[in-house]
Structures are given as C-alpha cells and as structure tokens.
Amino acid sequence: MTYRQGAYVWDELHGRVGVVKDGQWGGLVHLRPVGGGTEWTTPARMLRLATRTEKAAAGVKGDA
C-alpha cells in the first residue's frame, strides 16, 4: 500500500507512530516522528494507518 505525504502511520517494526515524509521507493518509506526528532526509514509492508488511539498517544492534537 502507498501512503500519502503527511499520513499518520503505525510502524509495526519500530512500534511507533510516524508521519510519512516522502513517498515509497524501493519498498521503503521515509518517516518523521510526531513532534520532531530523528527520522527513520521502514519497509512499506510494516506500515498501516494509525488508529485515533495510537495518534493521541503519540501526541497528535485533534482528529488529524
């Protein structure tokens, strides 16, 4: 699955919510943490859209 830039996703590999920074290339997706920090790359197959509960726990305000 391909996720649009800015989408909040759950990274099963790293166990955290990330924001899609760049599109998918070579099966990898570039993510940034909610609220800033060190960006990371993870396989697209390890991602799914984050739930409201996961986003709230990560510090996302409102219903983003």
- Where would I find the beta strands (DSSP E) of the chain? 8-11, 16-25, 28-33, 40-43, 47-49
Answer with the residue of higher pLDDT: 64 or 59: 59
Which of the four pLDDT bands, split at 50, 70 and 90, describes residue 2? Answer: confident
18-27: per-residue pLDDT in tens? Answer: 999 976 678 8
Contact 38, 52 (CB under 8 A): no
Confidence (pTM) = 0.89
